[in-house]
Amino acid sequence: MASKFDPNLALNLILPTQPRPNPQPSSTQIPAAAPAAADILVITGGNELSGHVPISGSKNSALAILAATLCCRGASKLNNVPRLADTATMAAVLSSLGAEVEFSGNEVVVETDRVGSAEPDAGLIGRIRGGFFVVGPLLARFGEAAVGLPGGCDIGARPVDIYVRGLRQLGAVVELRDNKLVARAANGRGLVGGRFRLDYPSVGSTQTLMMAACLAEGTTLLSNVAREPEIADLASFLTSTGARVEGVGTDRICVHGTRQLLGTEHTIMPDRIEAGTFMLAAAITRSRISLSPVCPVLLSGLIDKLLGGGCTISHERDELELSAIPRRSGEGLRGFDVRTLPYPGFPTDLQPQTMAMLSTCDGLSIVEESVFENRFTHVKELQKFGAKIHTEGSTAFIHGKGRRDKLRGARVSAADLRGGMALVLAGLAAEGVTQVSRMSNIDRGYESLEAKLRSLGADVKRLEEPNPS
Ligand code: EPZ
């Protein structure tokens, strides 16, 4: 029985399963991510959206599970992997270690038996945060690892101190040298289970330490861990490879180390951040759309806020419908306050898109960003649409335009993934034409974005970057 995302796991129920026999890969093929698309998106705003949008597999879950294949012998087959710049980069990271990776559509087969290096290509790691997660599996598998410091969205300092302290608690000697984290098992053999309390419920360090602990000698107890659903999806994958992980979804995870894990088949969970983004696209354009597959319980923070703002939301099985069409003429959406927090709090990855939507609502809204210290780069771009936003430290004050007037089309630049998507949403609602440049930052996290927007009735098209001369 192959494993797939089980929302109950996010609600901390553990259902151990038997490992599957290995599927045989044919050859190594890593297609480049979506061909280097034109880097400008032109949006003619004002269209009401309608129809249904399919939600892709989760980027952040796929990145962690691709890293986790390194914990296994043999081949793993992953279904529902989104075709994104980031997943292609992650596949290239695995390939740089000697793994055989084959993409076909949204399926990826990773064969790790020929992995012979514990030092991935640093250039690739420098492109995405998720690439750094391989330090856990490599150290556990080889007793050593040398991994370049991660890249990813420039939304804060994003240190790796919790990873370092956690790996030391698992019996590793760890130092930062030449922009790399260099680690080896102190006993010259392998990691040893231990107790570690994370200073902050960091997603990446929880995932990395959980993977490392799976192959450590003895039991590891991690406390104050992150509880994001992507961690439950990773645990579901690891469990089906033979790992013994307990407590996922709570603030304590217990891992009983195992000598060997075997490749398996797993289906990546739907992307709750992509789903939330499309819900906000419907809200900002005062539209009604449906989307699936969605697990509403994983988006309760956003759903509660949008209901409070005047949207109607219904869901049946894994399909959700949102309507922001005014029930009475002249009725507007009310603003609301948000404070981003680790799961189950309001997701920081939906903060910029929510801010864009709030700039069109009635009244004052206050948004506090408590997870990352530099995640307001989109504010000055939103102001170009005429949005009335000012910030004080990690708090933004949004004076919604309400029904009096609309955002106006603008030329803006996507500095990072979610901040960039906020600009696309503003462009959909704005009067006139918007040009969003540096779309490659958005391509990192949204699969087939134009096709999905066009299928909902949006007027969007890609343009080649005009040559500067
Ligand atoms: C993951 O990043 C996601 N990325 C992020 O999504 C997401 O915003 C974030 O979790 C929070 O939900 C991936 O899964 C690839 P953290 P991660 O470690 O793991 C501090 C997107 O848009 N911290 O939970 O890097 C850190 O600086 C991306 O898809 C330390 O201080 O996030 C931050 O302030 C953006 N020391 C806070 O913890 C450490 O050693 C949360 O970071 C590690 C983290």
**pLDDT at res. 464:** 62
**pLDDT at res. 463:** 83
Same-domain check for residues 257 and 282: no
Same-domain check for residues 309 and 261: no
End-to-end CA distance of the chain: give it in Å, rounded.
59
Is the per-residue pLDDT at 11 higher than 60? Answer: no
Same-domain check for residues 140 and 116: yes
**Residue of 198, 200, 374, 443 to test ligand 1 pocket, by largest number of atoms within 8 Å of CB:** 200
**pLDDT at res. 407:** 96
Which range scores top for mean pLDDT: 10-19, 397-406, 411-420?
A: 411-420
- pLDDT level of residue 133 (50, 70, 90 thresholds): very high
Q: How far apart are CA 370 and CA 49, in angstroms?
A: 32
Other CB atoms within 10 A of residue 288 CB:
17
**pLDDT at res. 38:** 60
Both structure tokens of 14: 């553990």
Establish whether residue 6 lines the binding site of ligand 1, counting it when its CB lies within 6 angstroms of any ligand atom.
no
Cα-to-centroid distance, 27 and ligand 1 (Å): 34
Cβ–Cβ under 8 Å, residues 454 and 47? no
Q: How far apart are CA 469 and CA 455, in angstroms?
A: 35
- pLDDT level of residue 23 (50, 70, 90 thresholds): very low
Cβ–Cβ under 8 Å, residues 440 and 434? no
Hey, is 151 helix, strand or coil? coil
∠ CA 436-439-441, nearest 5°, is: 130
Q: What's the average model confidence in pLDDT over 346-362?
A: 97
Establish if 33 belongs to a structural domain: no
Residue with tokens 């956690």: 166
Establish if 211 belongs to a structural domain: yes
Establish if 45 belongs to a structural domain: no
Same-domain check for residues 324 and 430: yes
- pLDDT level of residue 69 (50, 70, 90 thresholds): very high
Cα-to-centroid distance, 60 and ligand 1 (Å): 10
| Domain final position from 233, 267, 301 | 267
**pLDDT at res. 22:** 39
**pLDDT at res. 153:** 79
Question: Counting atoms of ligand 1 from 1, which one is nearest the CA of 203?
Answer: 24
Establish whether residue 158 lines the binding site of ligand 1, counting it when its CB lies within 6 angstroms of any ligand atom.
yes
Is the per-residue pLDDT at 437 higher than 70? Answer: yes
**pLDDT at res. 327:** 78
Q: What's the average model confidence in pLDDT over 403-423?
A: 93
DSSP class of residue 231?
A: H
**pLDDT at res. 402:** 76
| Domain final position from 235, 267, 299 | 267
Cα-to-centroid distance, 203 and ligand 1 (Å): 6
Establish if 23 belongs to a structural domain: no
Establish whether residue 442 lines the binding site of ligand 1, counting it when its CB lies within 6 angstroms of any ligand atom.
no
Cβ–Cβ under 8 Å, residues 373 and 158? no
Establish if 134 belongs to a structural domain: yes
DSSP H/E element including 440: helix 440-443
Is the per-residue pLDDT at 9 higher than 50? Answer: no
| Domain final position from 267, 287, 308 | 267
Same-domain check for residues 306 and 276: yes
- pLDDT level of residue 449 (50, 70, 90 thresholds): very high
Establish whether residue 163 lines the binding site of ligand 1, counting it when its CB lies within 6 angstroms of any ligand atom.
yes
pLDDT in tens, 227-286: 999 999 999 999 999 999 999 999 999 999 999 999 999 999 999 999 999 999 999 999
pLDDT in tens, 149-166: 998 778 988 999 999 999
Cβ–Cβ under 8 Å, residues 282 and 258? no
Hey, is 384 helix, strand or coil? coil
List the 107-111 sheet strands across, edge first: 3-4, 265-267, 75-79, 107-111, 100-104
Establish if 35 belongs to a structural domain: no
Establish if 309 belongs to a structural domain: yes
Establish whether residue 349 lines the binding site of ligand 1, counting it when its CB lies within 6 angstroms of any ligand atom.
yes
Is the per-residue pLDDT at 467 higher than 80? Answer: no
Q: How far apart are CA 184 and CA 219, in angstroms?
A: 19
Is the per-residue pLDDT at 410 higher than 60? Answer: yes
Is the per-residue pLDDT at 4 higher than 80? Answer: no
pLDDT in tens, 380-405: 999 999 999 999 999 999 999 777 67
Query: Could you tell me the residue range of the domain that residue 84 belongs to?
Result: 57-267
Residue with tokens 């804060």: 156
Same-domain check for residues 101 and 232: yes
Residues 6+ apart with CB under 8 A from 178: none
DSSP string, 256-277: E--S-EE--EEEPPB-HHHHHH
- CATH code of the domain covering residue 279: 3.65.10.10
**pLDDT at res. 465:** 53
Residue with tokens 């994104």: 84
* Half-sphere exposure in the Cβ direction for 32 (13 Å, CA): 4
Q: How far apart are CA 326 and CA 283, in angstroms?
A: 10
pLDDT, averaged across the chain: 91
Hey, is 195 helix, strand or coil? strand
Q: Are strands 319-323 and 288-292 parallel, antiparallel or unpaired?
A: antiparallel
Question: Counting atoms of ligand 1 from 1, which one is nearest the CA of 200?
Answer: 38
Same-domain check for residues 250 and 311: no
Q: What's the average model confidence in pLDDT over 73-77?
A: 97
Q: Please indicate, yes or no, whether the overall pTM of this predicted structure exceeds 0.75.
A: yes
List the 195-197 sheet strands across, edge first: 195-197, 219-223, 252-256, 244-246
**pLDDT at res. 2:** 54
Residue with tokens 């959406």: 333
**pLDDT at res. 427:** 98
Q: How far apart are CA 86 and CA 19, in angstroms?
A: 28
Domain count, the chain: 2
Residues 6+ apart with CB under 8 A from 449: 424, 442, 443
% of the chain residues with pLDDT over 90: 84
Cα-to-centroid distance, 204 and ligand 1 (Å): 6
Nearest Cα neighbor of 295 from 266, 324, 277, 318 is 318
Residues 6+ apart with CB under 8 A from 116: 97, 98
Is the per-residue pLDDT at 30 higher than 70? Answer: no
Q: How far apart are CA 14 and CA 355, in angstroms?
A: 36
Mark whether 295 is an active-site residue.
no
Q: What's the average model confidence in pLDDT over 410-428?
A: 97
Same-domain check for residues 136 and 219: yes
**pLDDT at res. 3:** 60
Same-domain check for residues 185 and 277: no
Same-domain check for residues 304 and 289: yes
- pLDDT level of residue 329 (50, 70, 90 thresholds): confident
| Cis, peptide link before residue 159, omega less than 30° from 0 | no
Is the per-residue pLDDT at 28 higher than 50? Answer: no
DSSP H/E element including 161: helix 161-169
DSSP H/E element including 78: strand 75-79
pLDDT in tens, 176-205: 998 999 999 999 999 999 999 999 999 999
Same-domain check for residues 105 and 241: yes
Looking at the chain, how many residues does it have? 469
**pLDDT at res. 32:** 47
188, exposed or middle or buried, with CB in 10 Å at 0-12, 13-18, 19+? exposed
DSSP H/E element including 451: helix 449-455
Cβ–Cβ under 8 Å, residues 377 and 413? no
**pLDDT at res. 466:** 54
Same-domain check for residues 357 and 250: no
Q: Of all protein residues, whose CA lies closest to atom 42 belonging to ligand 1?
A: 202
Q: Of all protein residues, whose CA lies closest to atom 14 belonging to ligand 1?
A: 60
71, 153, 254, 361: the active-site residue: 153
Both structure tokens of 305: 């806020």
Q: How far apart are CA 57 and CA 271, in angstroms?
A: 5
Establish if 27 belongs to a structural domain: no
